A = this chain, B = another copy of it.
């Protein structure tokens, strides 16, 4: 452990920036090899982002979707962890500049992920909530619970309506899953504790520019999702475009005004704006242009994976965990090839399908050409996510451990969350 203290040494040193899906799978693929691997992240934990929306909907505790990185690599002595914020790259000297010391590398994997993109919509960056990090998820949950507490004693019906209207911008998987979870929070726990829950004053409004939610999914599934969302009480505003976000209302193109103090923006992602200044080839959406082998053209010892990367001519890779995981593996294998003097291989995405829940007991699943929906789809979703969730843990962990022993006593309590600086800034700052 503590490789940085000992320096690179004889063994080739791989630095991996980002402990998301891409970074973790790159590190796991390099576990117990002849490389010294160091994972660097600003947080000391990995966040299981596919379930982040459940934290924001007060369904899961933050600790249940976060894993201390050191815990994940406890049994792999050639993988170390550094909690630091990377500030830049010295390509010539092959060193990372961080907010602490410098980190030397022979091979570098960049896997910092993406941040929320607002496409310059007026007021969005200032007033909309984001859902890309655990802290943002907690901030959104806290805000929503606070809205109910305030509404409980707000005599003015107009103000109460503003407090109890929750707008979600973007009908992609995040928007759909969060809309469903939020509607069920209101119909469930909230109803027991607040008159607002019972009075039906609380509204969840989902705004999508296209004619229906879940673009990219088969028509059949999109129709199912739309009907299901309406059935559990989510108001859909389709073919609607957000013009402006204010602290107390949302303006749609055409002049419609939606009074609300809660706008969640899920309509787009981009690369962090800082990366251009790092001397990286940044695309218009702030993503980094790479070769099919995931390498930088100018610096073949640097590989970029996940949301952050952008393969020329392969623009249509979805920005989802499976792509990041497969690219992480490919990056690790290509680094082994390079070290062995062999040619790296291009990345090929194996699409195993995708799935989205719409509240409990309902989901849509696409498996290659096959696609289905309903309870069976939801059960499949559940199994897949549970397996992946516990997949981080070492061999013999079983579900009961995962949900009981493990969450209650071993892992979660060691998170550094929230970090000490201002909660609002942490949670709202687009550029992480």
Contact = CB atoms under 8 A, between A and B. Distances in A.
Contacts of A152: 1-2, 5, 82
Interface string A119-150: 00000000000000000000101110110011
Contact of A410 (B1, B44, B189, B194): B189
B142 A413 contact: no
Given A2-B153, A420-B423, A71 B414 contact: no
A380 interface: no
A192 B63 CA distance: 20
B416 A59 contact: no
B101 A145 contact: no
Nearest to A427: B420
Contact of A150 (B59, B100, B145, B192): B100
4 A-B pairs with least C-beta separation: A70-B193, A83-B149, A58-B413, A422-B422
15 contacts: A4-B153, A44-B145, A61-B408, A61-B412, A70-B193, A141-B413, A142-B420, A143-B420, A146-B420, A189-B410, A404-B404, A419-B423, A420-B427, A421-B422, A421-B423
Contacts of A83: 146, 149-150
Interface string A409-432: 110111111111111100100000
Interface in A392-418: 403-404, 407-410, 412-418
A60 interface: yes
Contacts of A4: 153
Contacts of A408: 61, 64, 403-404, 407
Interface in A51-96: 55, 58-61, 63-64, 68, 70-71, 74, 82-83
Contact of A421 (B409, B412, B424): B424
A409 B59 contact: yes
Interface in A181-220: 189, 192-195
Interface string A27-62: 000000000000000001000000000010011110
A422 B423 contact: yes
A153 B82 contact: yes
Contacts of A341: none
A384 B206 CA distance: 49
A9 interface: no
A89 B155 CA distance: 22
Nearest to A151: B2
Contact of A419 (B142, B407, B410): B142
A68 B149 CA distance: 12
B100 A153 contact: yes
A400 to B, nearest CB: 9
Contacts of A149: 44, 83, 416
Contact of A195 (B1, B64, B404, B409): B1
A66 to B, nearest CB: 11
A353 B428 CA distance: 49
Contacts of A409: 59-60
A193 B73 CA distance: 9
Interface string A305-328: 000000000000000000000000
Contacts of A63: 61, 63
Given A142-B418, A404-B404, 18 more contacts: A2-B195, A5-B153, A44-B145, A61-B61, A61-B407, A63-B63, A70-B193, A82-B152, A139-B420, A141-B413, A142-B416, A143-B420, A403-B408, A404-B408, A420-B423, A420-B424, A420-B427, A421-B423
Contacts of A145: 44, 414-416
A74 B193 contact: yes
Contacts of A2: 152-153, 195
A382 to B, nearest CB: 14
